[in-house]
Amino acid sequence: MESIVGSSTEIKQRYFTGSSVYTQQSRCSLAERLNMNETNSQAQWITQQIMAEMAKSHPESASPSRAISDSAQPALMVPVGISNRHVHLSREDMDILFGYGSSLTRMKAVKQPGQFAAAETVTIKGPKKAIENVRILGPLRSETQVEISIADGFVLGVQAPIKMSGDLVGSSPIEIMGPKGSVTKDGGVIVAWRHIHIPCDMAAQYGLTDGQEVSVQTEGHRAGIMQRIAVRATQASVLEMHVDVEEANAYGLTNGSLVKVIG
């Protein structure tokens, strides 16, 4: 396993979104200033549905009210979402790969509001080999980003650093090929740092802050404690922990599995 790139202090203090840096306060207040009421309502509705489902199978965890340090309050149970390799494209690279003015075809919504899996796929090519049919996730971003697993890195012949999404400093180069053309990127390939998406109000209820690192307890035949999970608190977030396929397999997790935040 490669060592994590970047200090935990840096991760706790800031996140990178494209070329801009946002603090915890700005991440949680920016949505309000941009009048994202509709998106926030959608996120709250989805979170309520998740909490309702959790209440059926884990009644003791369904009513968050105090900080996680309070032993009398129910534990925060978080559903798992497993991320396979995928690509986020910029407008410029989308034009090159799929033709000028092309747009992504929404195939399936993902849990985080506004995001979706597109019907379009690309081939990513490293010094050793290529991997075909890599799914694109929408919407388009300001910078192209490729998220892979460590095993994918061995296949491609790249040493992708473990970093938060959007932090592309020191990321690995890659060639991306589409039906209309190809682009060679000097960077952009990362292994995504595992993280928990959580609405700001729920984070406050549990005493969690944006950028904080927590640990979770998993259950089952491969039960264990997973550490160094970054908290990503935004107004539009839906409660979910994102891990890659390798992490999920190591702990015997599937989509929808529940893990317990233990501090």
Please write the tens of the pLDDT for every residue from 8-59.
444 444 333 333 333 444 455 554 445 455 555 666 666 666 666 665 665 5
Mean pLDDT of the chain: 84
pLDDT at residue number 13: 41
Q: What is the pLDDT of residue 263?
A: 85
CA 80 to CA 77: how far, in whole Å? 10
CA of 110: how far to CAs of 43, 168, 237, 240, in Å? Answer: 12, 23, 12, 11
pLDDT tens digit sequence for 71-98: 567 899 999 999 999 999 999 999 999 9
Residue where the block lists tokens 């998993």 = 218
pLDDT in the model for residue 38? 59
Q: How many CB atoms lie within 10 A of CB 93?
A: 23
Residue range 127-142: mean pLDDT, rounded: 98
Residue 257: DSSP 8-state: -
- pLDDT exceeds 60 at position 143: yes
CB 142 within 8 A of CB 75: no
Q: Could you tell me the pLDDT band of residue 7, with boundaries at 50, 70 and 90?
A: very low
Contact 257, 216 (CB under 8 A): no
